[in-house]
Amino acid sequence: MLRTDPALQKRSWILQTGGATRQQSARRGLEKIALDTNLVVIHDGARPFASTELIDRCIDAAAIHGAAVPGLPVRETIKVVSESNGLKVHRTETSSGKYKRRRSFSAS
């Protein structure tokens, strides 16, 4: 299926089976690439529908800045709790300027 994907036809890619954790999966993938590789994109199966456009924007940003992480604006209310008082709400933060992290793309 991946070999016939038009978005992958002009790109070099390696598919690697995952590990028990995301960290182990990333490590297994990194162990399989050549040492002179300039850019690595790691995408896990937990979010299988990332668009080609999103991945392209992350690759472009990683090439310029050295790394890129796609994210979504936080829409939920954020409560900061104090564990010393039995998990009582310490304060409510605004979600403005906060983003949910998704995946990391790094360039060397």
Question: Which sequence spans correspond to the domains of the chain?
Answer: 2-107
Could you tell me where the beta strands, DSSP code E, fall in 1-108? 39-41, 67-68, 71-73, 78-82, 88-93, 99-101, 105-107
- pLDDT, tens digit (0-9, with 9 covering 90-100), for 25-52: 889 989 988 899 888 888 767 777 888 8
Which residue, among 41, 49, 47, has the nearest Cα to 15 in the 3D structure?
41
Q: How many CA atoms lie within 13 A of 4 on its CB side?
A: 1
- pLDDT, tens digit (0-9, with 9 covering 90-100), for 70-108: 877 777 778 888 777 677 777 887 777 777 765 444 444
Q: Express as a percent the part of the chain with pLDDT over 90.
A: 9
Q: Fold for 2-107, please state it.
A: Spore Coat Polysaccharide Biosynthesis Protein SpsA; Chain A (3.90.550)
